[in-house]
Amino acid sequence: MNQPITWDGLNPFPLYRQMRDTNAVYKDTNHSWNVFRYEDVKQVLNDHNTFSSQVSFEERSILSMDPPRHQKYRSMASQLFTPKMAMGMAPRISAVVKELISALRGQEETDLVRSLSIPLPLYVLTDWLGVPPEDRLPFQRWSELEVKYNSYTGGMDAYENESETLQDELCSYFQWMIDNRRRQPKDDLVSALLSVKADTGGFTDGELVDFCFLLIIGGIETTAHLLTNTVLTLDEHPAVLQRLRNDPDAVSKVIDEVLRYRSPVQSTFRIVLHDVEIGGHLIDRGEPINVWLGAANRDERIFENAETFDIDRKNNPKHLAFSSGIHHCLGVHLAKLEVKIAITELLTQISQFERIRVKELVPIHSTVLLGLESLPINYKFVETNFR
């Protein structure tokens, strides 16, 4: 029997390298197959006729849908999730970032996860959906619970129960919003979703509720972890941080390399629809397969010196941090823009920041996401003279 895979939430990359070199296609003790090399990972992601995303009977999320239902959702959602849409939100994102950073004045240390990484996408997405600030508290509490729940610290059952209660509350709130916007449309995402049409018709109310909830799930956690991972990586690479201070236009290159080097999403899951061979192994119809995006993004066969953080990497766009094929992330433009504006503003307003190393880093306990429960930092604001 094959051995279980031992996961290190702070540094899974030595394990990935070992698996790529010795067990690139591997069946674990849970009888799930695992693929670690770039070409094998991309094969699975791009072949939706062989590898199904429908991992349960209840298709509540576009992430777990196959064609043709997936095409309906994708065609409607892609009308809204565009680069133009993201750029149109830039002024609001900038205002949120400035508000959150301004709140740090008068202090010398903070937990970046709770002061910036989570609130930024939370505020941006709830604003876009049309949720007023006074109704934001349940969304914020749910986001904080997800970090704690994934960390398995301090009573997982209690977090799970509260999280389920909050999910029900948020879904009821979205249904109320849908009913309200149908009567009185506004300039927000819920109203826009109600107006979108497709060949097979628009969203049902249930589909709209699920879509809004998926947006909160996918849009907050992944963006939050990308921002945290970017600050952590810059702290580990002071020369890159100094270069970024000298050349703020390099921020996009930094973010793209963080996506490869420390991807917020490390793995995804598929079910095999018919017998297939991968890497010399026959995988039978119906067997589950874990697709390790984080391992593929460190594959030396594709990325030279893959363990090195190199913002000048020529083939960086090959990374699979946002998946590939029909499930390539719809929110990529918005997520990258949020982090770009946040990092730019941090470097504009804060002259120094560094991780507080006496405080141990605690990773979230997830093999799907790579992130931290908290990131304690010291910082100093840029001194300004008013004359």
pLDDT in tens, the chain (387 residues): 455 567 788 999 999 999 999 999 999 888 889 999 999 999 999 998 898 877 654 455 555 565 556 566 666 667 677 778 888 899 999 999 999 999 999 999 999 999 999 999 999 999 999 999 999 888 887 777 766 555 444 445 656 677 778 888 888 999 999 999 999 999 998 998 888 765 556 678 888 888 888 788 778 889 999 999 999 999 999 999 999 999 999 999 999 999 999 999 999 888 899 999 999 999 999 999 999 999 999 999 999 999 999 999 999 999 999 988 666 677 889 999 999 999 999 999 999 999 999 999 989 878 888 999 999 999 999 987 544
Chain length of the chain: 387
Spell out the alpha helix ranges (H) of the chain. 13-22, 38-46, 69-77, 83-88, 90-102, 112, 119-129, 137-151, 156-183, 189-195, 205-236, 238-246, 251-261, 293-296, 332-349
Closest by alpha carbon to 121, among 210, 192, 211, 222? Answer: 222
* Interatomic CA distance for residues 170 and 189, integer angstroms: 16
Domains of the chain, residue spans: 24-381
* Interatomic CA distance for residues 271 and 285, integer angstroms: 8
State residue 72's pLDDT score: 62
Token pair in block for residue 296: 């593929």
- Residue keyed to tokens 């695992």: 34
* Interatomic CA distance for residues 328 and 220, integer angstroms: 17
Token pair in block for residue 359: 């405080």
CATH class of the structural domain 24-381: mainly alpha
